[in-house]
Amino acid sequence: MTMHIPVKRSKDNQILGGVIAGFCEQYDWNPAIGRILYVAISLTPMFPGIIVYLILLLLMEKPDEN
């Protein structure tokens, strides 16, 4: 049994894995602002940004191949 988040990674708007852009597409946000906010939050000592990104990369659904 695999566990997935019902949000797909972005196929067209990705820099690393499309995780942040996938969330931005799902909720109709601007991906550039989403990335800036994620990096700003990741710089705080209480939020392990890289670890959270990697976990989301594994749990999110792959983009459609269409």
In angstroms, the CA 24 to CA 19 distance is 9
Q: Which residue has the higher pLDDT, 40 or 13?
A: 40
Phi, psi of 42 (to 5 degrees): -65, -25
List, for residues 15-32, the tens digit of each pLDDT value: 888 999 999 999 999 999
Q: How confident is the model at residue 2 (pLDDT cuts 50, 70, 90)?
A: low
Q: Specify the pLDDT at position 19.
A: 92
Q: What is the average per-residue pLDDT within 23-46?
A: 92
